[in-house]
Structure 1
Amino acid sequence: MNTKIYVGNLSFETENSDLESLFSAHGEVKTANVVRDKESGRARGFGFVEMSQASHADSAIESLNQSQFMGRNIVVNMAKERN
């Protein structure tokens, strides 16, 4: 059961705590990370959230995909495994 969620089209001002707050309404958040540029430290506009249970991840995706967050329509779906 996959519990890791991709969150795209984030505002460049989004912090890890913002993601955690948004997703915690759908269950326990294990981790919430905004991906940042290694050199500049600037947010890259996407991140990942890991929920404690697959049902919580499904609920979050269903509720939050294409919703408004910090002035942007965010994309929320299951994270794909890297090859």
Structure 2
Amino acid sequence: MSAKVRVDNLSKKTDDDTMRWAFSEFGTVLDSIVLRDRDTGESRGFGFVTFGSPQEAEAAIAGLNEQEIDGSRIRVVHANSR
């Protein structure tokens, strides 16, 4: 069963691959996406990472919340399901 985390306060230079690399330390990353503005293509400052299990998502939250990636201190929380 997969689990998703939301990552807030991303640097404008953080991309999908950078986020995947940073989060892969905590488990199997199934998907990693930085949301971008439709018109400008610039990062909207947040994204989502999907892990292979809830335990991996918990480890990522514990390990990366309030840590720095690309010069920005990120916030990592459970993603709300729609």
Alpha-carbon distance in 2 for matches of 1:43, 1:69: 14
Alpha-carbon distance in 2 for matches of 1:81, 1:27: 21
Count of aligned positions: 82
| TM-score (ref. length: structure 1) | 0.94
Letter matched to residue 79 of structure 2: A
- What's the CA shift for 1:69? 1.0
Alpha-carbon distance in 2 for matches of 1:9, 1:51: 20
Find the counterpart in structure 2 of residue 4 from structure 1: 4
Asked if structure 2 preserves the Cα contact closer than 8 Å seen for 1:2 and 1:78, the reply is no
Asked if structure 2 preserves the Cα contact closer than 8 Å seen for 1:35 and 1:46, the reply is yes
Find the counterpart in structure 1 of residue 26 from structure 2: 26
Which runs of 5 or more residues in structure 2 are unaligned?
Answer: none
Which runs of 5 or more residues in structure 1 are unaligned?
Answer: none
Percentage identity across paired residues of the two chains: 38
Alpha-carbon distance in 2 for matches of 1:2, 1:61: 15
- What's the CA shift for 1:16? 0.2
For the pair 1:53 / 2:53, whether they are aligned, the reply is yes
Q: Residues 64-83 of structure 1: matches in 2 within 5 Å?
A: 64-82=64-82
- What's the CA shift for 1:81? 2.2
Q: Secondary structure at the match of 2:26?
A: coil
| TM-score (ref. length: structure 2) | 0.95
- What's the CA shift for 1:68? 1.1
| Aligned structure 1 segments of 4 or more residues deviating by more than 4 angstroms | none
